[in-house]
Amino acid sequence: MNYMLKDENAIYYECGYSCDNALYLQFGNEAYFITDGRYTVDAKAHVKGAKVVIAADLYGEGAKLIKKHKIKKIVYDPKEWTVFGFERIASAVKCKLSPEPDFSHKKRIIKSDAELKILAKAAKLGRKAFKQLAKEITANGFGKDEYALTYMAKGVLSDYGRYDLSFDPIVAINANAAKPHATPTKSVLQTHDLLLIDAGLKYKRYCSDRTRTVYADKQFAFGTAQQFGKKKIQKAYDTVLKAHDRAIAKARSGMKAKEVDALTRDLIEKAGFGKYYVHSTGHGVGLDIHEMPYIASKSDTIIEDGMVFTIEPGIYIPGEFGIRIEDMVAMVDGRAEVL
Domain that holds residue 276: 113-338
Q: What percent of the chain has pLDDT over 90?
A: 99
Is residue 61 domain-shared with residue 98, that is, in the same domain? yes
In 6-137, which ranges are E strands? 22-27, 30-35, 51-54, 73-76, 96-99
HSE on the CB side for 27, CA within 13 Å?
A: 16
CB burial class (10 A; 0-12, 13-18, 19+) of residue 311?
A: buried
Q: Are 34 and 62 in contact (CB under 8 A)?
A: yes
Q: What is the pLDDT of residues 34-91, one digit of tens each?
A: 999 999 999 999 999 999 999 999 999 999 999 999 999 999 999 999 999 999 999 9
193 shares a domain with 80:
no
pLDDT attached to residue 208: 98
> In terms of domains, do 145 and 224 share one?
yes
CA angle 46, 209, 117 (to 5 degrees): 50
pLDDT category, 159, cuts 50, 70, 90?
A: very high
Global pTM reads: 0.93
Per-residue CA distances from 183 to 116, 186, 208, 231 (Å)? 31, 10, 20, 27
Q: Which of 300, 291, 151, 150 is nearest to 207 (CA)?
A: 291
**Same structural domain for residues 57 and 139?**
no
261 and 240 share one domain? yes
CATH number for the domain including 37? Answer: 3.40.350.10
Are residue 47 and residue 157 in the same domain, yes or no? no
Q: What is the pLDDT of residue 236?
A: 98
pLDDT in tens, 287-338: 999 999 999 999 999 999 999 999 999 999 999 999 999 999 999 999 999 9
Q: Domain tally for the chain?
A: 2
> How many Cβ atoms sit within 10 Å of the Cβ of residue 107?
13
Backbone φ/ψ region at 334: left (φ over 0), alpha (ψ -120 to 50), beta:
left
pLDDT at 219: 86
Mean pLDDT value across residues 242-258: 98
278 and 327 in a single domain? The answer is yes
Tell me how far the alpha carbon of residue 212 is from its chain's centroid.
16
**pLDDT tens digits, one per residue of 121-135:** 999 999 999 999 999
CA distance 128 to 335: 24
284: CATH:
3.90.230.10
Q: For residue 119, is pLDDT > 90? A: yes
Judge whether residue 218 has pLDDT over 90: no
Q: What is the mean pLDDT of the chain?
A: 97
CA 226-230-235 angle, to 5 degrees, is 65
